[in-house]
């Protein structure tokens, strides 16, 4: 490669905002809350000690401390396929066990977090706190008592559905809509989550389901990792202006993800197409299985898809643009961060590759004129306010 081309390539790869002393200082001093990190799913497929540097993971203790991360919601994710196979409950419990074991092995580095009231006490000594967020309500099945079971295990928000309709709600990815809102059981789920003090999460669900959820909930709701559809008009997975305003009016917060699948229009189009292709793949295999014929290879499907759909190269500006838009639309008190680290196969903007990079995000906000007090709200203050309100309503 010629020197001039190499220099241009390095310039393109460099983050638009590199953290300076002021950004690093604020990142370390502020309480940073990230509502969506998929490390537990990674541990299920390739275990690592996250108390040490783990090269295959975007979240681990050294990276978290470098970035200033204080509260990392561990995503307890189960798929629509696991729901159909009846393994979602088992998988969810295994992931929770993995998070508990991580904290038990490293009591000086991690602590489980069950209440926002315990943040200041538990983060003393540089601990990273690990509350749980359940991505997809599938593990509760059709048994309302499972909400109390998972609350007792530490789950503090539940994303009602994921990539397909379940017993609770419709998915934004689904072509056909089963409930056109919440199911009768889903309405009871929302009410019970309010009673227990579990935050209701409207990320991933259809517009109809989200609208009914927001109206029905007696406490503020969150979108744990949803970018704005304004930038990706045909991508229902991202939140509409109307729904974002409804979340804010209820006192809730929209948590912005970092993945290019959400913040980049091309990435969003690829993601939408991918989920539809997966649904068709699963249908074909179901038909082949019923006919007693050999199944198509999932590995070959994944390889062919990746080769045909390379991820777009995205800059940190795409995330900062999301923040700017959100603040103007719904106000700085209703915006936060839900990165989706370890959940997007490394498809992340330059400058936001791991949890060590929050200072770059802070530097970007400072460069765009945000006051430190407002940056603190975005980094975690807003989410902690909502969580506190949900917990207090349950206590009443």
Give per-residue pLDDT as tens, 230-263: 999 989 999 999 999 999 999 999 999 999 999 9
Q: How far apart are CA 368 and CA 345, in angstroms?
A: 29
What are the extents of the domains in the chain?
18-264+315-395, 265-311
Judged against a pLDDT cut of 50, whether residue 8 lies above it is answered with no
**pLDDT above 70 coverage of the chain, percent:** 96
Query: According to the model, what pLDDT value does residue 214 have?
Result: 98
Query: According to the model, what pLDDT value does residue 16 have?
Result: 60
* Residue 77 φ/ψ, nearest 5 degrees: -95, 130
Q: How far is CA 192 from CA 8, 148, 166, 196, in A?
A: 55, 9, 17, 6
Query: According to the model, what pLDDT value does residue 70 have?
Result: 98
Per residue, the 3-state secondary structure of the chain, as one string, reads CCHHHHHHHHHHHCCCCCCCHHHHHHHHHCCEEEEEECHHHHHHHCCCCCCCCCCCCCCCHHHHHHHCEEEEEEEEECCHHHHHHCCHHHHHHHHHHHHHHHHHHCCCCEEECCCHHHHHHHCCCCCEEECEEEECCHHHCCCCHHHHHHHHCCEEEEECCCCCCCCCECECCCCCCCCCCECHHHHHHHHHHHHHCCEEECCCECHHHHHHHHHHCCCCCEECCCCEHHHCCCCCCCECHHHHHHHHHCCCEEEECCCHHHHCHHHHHHHHHHHHHHHHHHHHHHHHHHCCCCCCCHHHHHHHHHHHCCCCCCECHHHHHHHHHHHHHHCHHHEEECCCECCCCCCCCECCCCHHHHHHHHHHHHHCCCCHHHHHHHHHHHHHHHHHHHHHHHHC
With a CB cutoff of 8 Å and minimum separation 6, the contacts of 375 are 26, 30, 362, 365, 366
Q: How confident is the prediction for the chain on average, in pLDDT? A: 93
Q: How far apart are CA 248 and CA 369, in angstroms?
A: 23
Closest-CA residue to 72 (of 288, 332, 335, 341): 341
Judged against a pLDDT cut of 60, whether residue 12 lies above it is answered with no
Query: According to the model, what pLDDT value does residue 396 have?
Result: 62
Judged against a pLDDT cut of 90, whether residue 5 lies above it is answered with no
Query: According to the model, what pLDDT value does residue 351 have?
Result: 96
Burial class of 263 by CB neighbour count within 10 A (0 to 12, 13 to 18, 19+)? buried
With a CB cutoff of 8 Å and minimum separation 6, the contacts of 66 are 356
Query: According to the model, what pLDDT value does residue 212 have?
Result: 98
Q: How far apart are CA 220 and CA 389, in angstroms?
A: 7
The single residue listed with the structure tokens 């639309």 is 329
Report the topology of domain 18-264+315-395: TIM Barrel (3.20.20)
Give per-residue pLDDT as tens, 28-47: 999 999 999 999 999 999 99
Give per-residue pLDDT as tens, 76-96: 999 999 999 999 999 999 999
**Which of 18-22, 181-185, 370-374 is least confident?**
18-22
Query: According to the model, what pLDDT value does residue 32 have?
Result: 98
Judged against a pLDDT cut of 80, whether residue 170 lies above it is answered with yes
Give per-residue pLDDT as tens, 329-379: 999 999 999 999 999 999 999 999 999 999 999 999 999 999 999 999 999
Judged against a pLDDT cut of 50, whether residue 64 lies above it is answered with yes
Give per-residue pLDDT as tens, 267-296: 888 887 887 888 788 889 888 889 998 889
Mean pLDDT of 305-313: 84
**pLDDT above 90 coverage of the chain, percent:** 82
Confidence of residue 15 (pLDDT cuts 50, 70, 90): low
């Amino acid at each position: 490669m010629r020197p001039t081309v190499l220099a241009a390539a390095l310039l393109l790869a460099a983050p638009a905002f590199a953290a300076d002393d002021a950004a690093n200082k604020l990142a370390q001093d502020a309480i940073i809350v990230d509502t969506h990190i998929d490390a537990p799913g990674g541990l299920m497929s390739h275990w690592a000690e996250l108390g040490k540097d783990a090269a295959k993971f975007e979240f681990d203790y050294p990276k978290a401390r470098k970035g200033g991360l204080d509260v990392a919601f561990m995503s307890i994710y189960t798929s629509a396929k696991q729901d159909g196979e009846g393994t979602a409950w088992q998988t969810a419990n295994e992931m929770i066990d993995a998070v508990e074991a991580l904290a038990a092995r490293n009591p000086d580095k991690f602590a489980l977090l069950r209440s926002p009231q315990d943040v200041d006490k538990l983060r003393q000594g540089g601990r990273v706190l690990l509350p749980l967020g359940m991505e997809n309500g599938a593990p509760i099945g059709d048994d309302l008592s499972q909400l109390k079971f998972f609350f007792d295990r530490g789950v503090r928000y539940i994303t009602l559905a994921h990539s397909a309709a379940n017993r609770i709600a419709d998915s934004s990815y689904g072509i056909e809509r089963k409930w056109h809102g919440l199911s009768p059981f889903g309405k009871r789920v929302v009410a019970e989550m309010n009673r227990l003090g579990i935050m209701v999460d409207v990320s991933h669900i259809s517009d109809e389901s989200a609208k009914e959820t927001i109206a029905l909930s007696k406490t503020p709701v969150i979108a744990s990792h949803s970018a704005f559809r304004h930038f990706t008009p045909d991508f229902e997975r991202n939140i509409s202006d109307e729904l974002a305003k409804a979340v804010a009016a209820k006192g809730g917060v929209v948590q912005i993800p970092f993945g290019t699948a959400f913040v980049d229009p091309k990435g969003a189009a690829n993601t939408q197409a991918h989920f539809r292709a997966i649904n068709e793949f699963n249908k074909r295999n179901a038909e082949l299985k019923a006919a007693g014929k050999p199944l198509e290879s999932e590995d070959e499907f994944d390889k062919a898809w990746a080769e045909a759909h390379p991820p777009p190269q995205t800059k940190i500006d795409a995330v900062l643009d999301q923040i700017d838009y959100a603040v103007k639309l719904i106000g700085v008190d209703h915006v936060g961060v839900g990165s989706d680290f370890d959940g997007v196969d490394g498809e992340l903007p330059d400058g936001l590759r791991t949890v060590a990079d929050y200072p770059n995000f802070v530097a970007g906000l400072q460069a765009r004129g945000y006051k430190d007090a407002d940056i603190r709200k975005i980094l975690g203050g807003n989410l902690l306010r909502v969580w506190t309100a949900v917990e207090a309503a349950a206590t009443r």
